[in-house]
């Protein structure tokens, strides 16, 4: 049974292993700095007729690949699938998973969805009811541009603060059985409203949420930032990452550069023309599934705080003058089993 | 700790009380058959500039009203708020709850959201980590018509099979402490695809999901339909309700009329011009919060199976030829505490 600690953090008691991960990314992601960690890449359209169907295919094939790569876990052992995405009414997840035949719980956490699914999934397993839960999310540059910004055909100029939606789907299989990295504590985030209304600056809208959740997590557990080998925010990009660091500093939390990174900055190189960095549900999901999980498995990182961030907005809400709300959830993943360093 | 029973049902062990509910509906709902149970009604626009802001206000005020009506539970005792709605990127929930200051987990289950939130919320409490969880959702006739169908100004003729989106927000406070009705078992649903593509017939797309979840729930717990005083589906409307009854009968499950009802049929009278009945996340949420909860509290109903249903689709997915997927989650709520009938 999880124990609520401090204001908003749940410390897990039953082992919850990240048993396996899977991901498929697009071509641009494959060409980026993490390219060698992305085993499979596909074109943005994934040979489908529409961008939305392509995104659903990324989800469906990532789900299949996760199960195929998880010996000992048959599909009927999956207690539920937690999924969501950025498309209106989260259709990429529903369409992509419709053949799974497993109970489905849809989430909407914008780009924080990967952390939200890990949070709920780990608590369901810790609570004893579930043994195996799949967490999955996706985004697609083309479906996102079409829905949130401009038709691709316009070739619109991009603002330097803007971010580039990652094409890809990432998934994790959480399990009560296994070995390797375990989720040890989770901190669900609070909606932050700093009255940011610039849709070309999502980093600014999410940075206060990331900082707030990190501070809450560390405070609740009475931990220093240096407890973690790596604190990775979701997809703040360069602008949001710098703001997040500034806010942490204001609160007396020094974040060394190597210890404090951001998935949106890790996935693309500035030379790729991606402005402030990557974004989208698929950004933190694929960086986690391909790179961070491998770092944990290889014990290059033993204590990871994964803080995926989301901007809660729609084109309609922004046009009606609503601020872009930020949210971030924190997931502590540690090597604490046999073979882990003391 | 919940115990997985049968294929997909979780039986709860720790008491999870539905401690309180709250709702606000629109005028048409107030004029319907359940009008006297709806204590507060507002105009669809709730004195706001836009339908979307109105829907967010329904959410915000329902949340405030839930807390104000729950003595002994201060806002800082809420471990998390589970919310979601039908608007693109679920902005009604995020905007409506942005001042709550409590951890927020966004859900997207279309019109099944109320059941999905009760399901996750009850498992979080059963799992020991959470003590108090708010489950909340909403819909608004005008924001839904605008987003999913036609501009209201067109005055488009409605198909007889179509349903009328309920204006309103409903919420429940789940708690480990209290008395009264308890959530005893939950069955998360599987996505059903019967290749329904008619957006004027959501009932048909959701009926197989409702029947599948009911059959799964009864089978997993080895219960007859008659175990429950009332089995209420989410918002199938007249067409879907009849189809659901037919499917149940095909599987040898006889559903007496009085024991098998539908929120979409309960909330409106056919004379109100609402075609096949009500729909929207707010439909099952307000019927549950105002009417069903009262029936449980007054012991007119002692064993309720609440099966909210959702259609997983968007205007884009339908126009691209994707089928309308159905999902339904089942929540067993029973009077089992002191004073409950044997």
Q: What is the pLDDT of residues A279-298, one digit of tens each?
A: 999 999 999 999 999 999 99
Instruction: Give the model's pLDDT for residue A303.
Output: 98
The alpha helices in chain A, defined as continuous H runs, are 27-30, 51-68, 91-97, 113-126, 141-148, 202-221, 237-250, 263-266, 281-286, 293-297, 315-319
pLDDT score, position A254: 81
For tokens 């994790």, the residue is A172
Cα-based angle A11, A206, B77 (whole degrees, multiple of 5): 40
In whole angstroms, what is the distance from residue B218 CA to residue B267 CA? 26
> Helix A113-126 crosses helix B113-126 at what angle (to 10 degrees)?
50
CA-based nearest distance A105→chain B, Å: 7
Q: What is the ipTM of this complex?
A: 0.97
Say whether residue B106 is in contact with chain A using an 8 A CB cutoff: yes
Which residues of chain A are within 8 Å of residue B147 when distances are taken between CB atoms? 316
For residue B114, give both structure tokens. 């109320």
In this structure, of A151-160, B75-84, B107-116, the range with the lowest mean pLDDT score is: A151-160
Taking alpha carbons only, the member of B328, B215, B216, B319 closest to residue B262 is B328
Q: Quick check: B236 pLDDT over 80?
A: yes
CB pair distance less than 8 Å for A129 and B126: yes
Question: What is the average per-residue pLDDT within B27-39?
Answer: 98
Kindly determine whether residue B124 and residue A119, on different chains, have CB atoms separated by under 8 Å.
Answer: no
Q: Is A331 on the interface with B (CB under 8 A)?
A: no
- How much is the pTM? 0.98
Least confident of A248-257, B164-173, B270-279: A248-257
| Closest chain B residue by Cα to residue A209 | B103
Q: Which helix (H) or strand (E) holds B28?
A: helix B27-30
- Report yes or no: B326 at the A interface, CB cutoff 8 Å: no
State yes or no: pLDDT of B257 exceeds 90.
Answer: no
pLDDT in the model for residue B341: 56
Note the pLDDT of residue A338: 57
Paired sense of beta strands B80-85 and B104-106, if any: parallel
Neighbours of A61 (CB within 10 A): 17
Contact A130 B89 (CB under 8 A): no
B126–A105 C-beta distance less than 8 A:
no
Residue of B nearest to A86 (CA): B89
In whole angstroms, give the CA distance from residue A224 to residue A247.
16
DSSP secondary structure string for all residues of A174-213: EESS--S-EEEEEE--B-B------TT-HHHHHHHHHHHH
Task: With a cut of 80, say whether residue B342 has pLDDT above it.
Answer: no
* Number of CB atoms found within 10 A of residue B252's CB: 7
Q: How far is A61 from chain B (nearest CA, A)?
A: 17
Report the gap between the CA of A330 and the closest CA in chain B (Å): 11
Establish if B89 touches chain A: CB-CB under 8 angstroms: yes
Residue among B84, B127, B321 with most chain A CBs within 10 A, to mutate = B127
Partners of B86 on chain A (C-beta within 8 Å) are 89
Question: Would you state the pLDDT for residue A255?
Answer: 79
CA A93 to chain centre: 15
Both structure tokens of B270: 């056919």
3-state secondary structure of B21: strand
* Angstrom distance (rounded) from CA A41 to CA A48: 15
| One-letter-per-residue 3-state SS of B163-230 | CEECCEEEEEEEECCCCCCEEEEEECCECECCCCCCCCCHHHHHHHHHHHHHHHHHHHHCCCHHHCCE
* Tokens describing residue A21: 């991960």
pLDDT at B322: 96
Nearest C-alpha neighbor of B310 from the set A93, A160, A183:
A93
User: So what's the pLDDT on residue B262?
Assistant: 98
Count the Cβ atoms, other than its own, within 10 Å of residue B298.
9
pLDDT of residue B338: 57
Token pair belonging to A175: 């399990």
Residue A128 in contact with residue A13, Cβ under 8 Å?
no
Map residue A310 onto helix, strand or coil: strand
CB-based contact A130:A246 (threshold 8 Å) = no
pLDDT at B340: 60
Angle, in degrees to the nearest 10, between helices A51-68 and A141-148: 140
A105 pairs with which residues across the strands?
A82
Q: Where are the alpha helices (DSSP H) in B31-185?
A: 51-68, 91-97, 113-126, 141-148
Task: Please compute Rg for chain A using Cα positions.
Answer: 18
CA distance A271 to chain B (A): 31
Q: What phi and psi values does residue A308 have, to the nearest 5 degrees?
A: -75, 140
Nearest-Cα distance to chain A for B37, in Å, is: 30
pLDDT for the residue numbered B339: 54
pLDDT class for B1, splitting at 50, 70, 90? confident
- Mean pLDDT, contiguous 10-residue spans, chain A (342 residues): 94 96 98 98 98 98 98 96 98 97 97 98 94 98 95 91 97 95 98 96 97 98 97 97 97 89 98 97 98 98 98 97 98 82 52
* Contact residues for B163 (Cβ-Cβ < 8 A; gap 6+): B202, B203, B235, B237, B264, B274, B275, B276, B277, B278, B279
Chain A residues with CB under 8 Å of B313 CB are 89, 91, 94
Q: What is the DSSP letter of A289?
A: I
Burial B225-241 (b: 16+ CB within 10 A, else e): beebbbbbbbbbbbbbb
Whether A8 has its CB under 8 Å from any CB of chain B: the answer is yes
Q: Per mean pLDDT, which range of A127-136, B160-169, B332-341 is the poorest?
A: B332-341
Helix, strand, or coil (residue A249): helix
């Amino acid at each position: 049974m999880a124990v609520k600690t401090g204001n908003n953090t749940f410390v897990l008691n039953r082992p919850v292993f990240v048993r396996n991960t899977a991901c498929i990314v697009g071509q641009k992601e494959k060409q980026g700095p993490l390219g060698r960690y992305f085993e499979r890449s596909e074109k943005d359209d994934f040979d489908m007729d529409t961008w939305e169907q392509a995104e659903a295919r990324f989800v469906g094939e990532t789900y299949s690949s996760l199960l195929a790569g998880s010996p000992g876990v048959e599909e009927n052992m999956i207690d539920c699938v937690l999924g969501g995405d950025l498309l209106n009414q989260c259709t990429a997840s529903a369409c992509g998973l419709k053949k799974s035949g497993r109970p489905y719980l849809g989430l909407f956490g914008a780009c924080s969805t990967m952390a939200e699914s890990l949070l709920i999934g780990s608590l369901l397993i810790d609570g004893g009811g579930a043994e195996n839960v799949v967490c999955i999310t996706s985004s697609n540059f083309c479906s996102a541009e079409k829905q949130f910004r401009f038709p691709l055909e316009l070739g619109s100029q991009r603002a330097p603060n803007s971010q580039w939606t990652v094409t890809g789907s990432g998934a994790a299989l959480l399990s009560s059985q296994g070995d390797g990295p375990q989720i040890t504590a989770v901190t669900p985030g609070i909606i932050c409203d700093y009255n940011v209304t610039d849709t070309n600056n999502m980093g600014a809208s999410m940075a206060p949420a990331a900082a707030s959740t990190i501070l809450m997590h560390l405070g609740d557990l009475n931990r220093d930032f240096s407890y973690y080998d790596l604190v990775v925010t979701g997809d703040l990009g360069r602008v949001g990452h710098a703001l997040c660091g500034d806010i942490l500093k204001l609160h007396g939390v020094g974040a060394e550069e190597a210890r404090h990174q951001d998935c949106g900055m890790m996935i693309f190189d500035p030379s790729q023309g991606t402005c402030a960095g990557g974004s989208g549900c698929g950004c933190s999901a694929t960086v986690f599934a391909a790179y961070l999980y491998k770092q944990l498995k290889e014990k290059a990182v033993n204590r990871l705080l994964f803080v995926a961030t989301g901007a809660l907005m729609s084109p309609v809400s922004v046009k009606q003058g609503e601020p872009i709300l930020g949210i971030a959830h924190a997931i502590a993943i540690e090597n604490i089993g046999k073979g882990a360093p003391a």
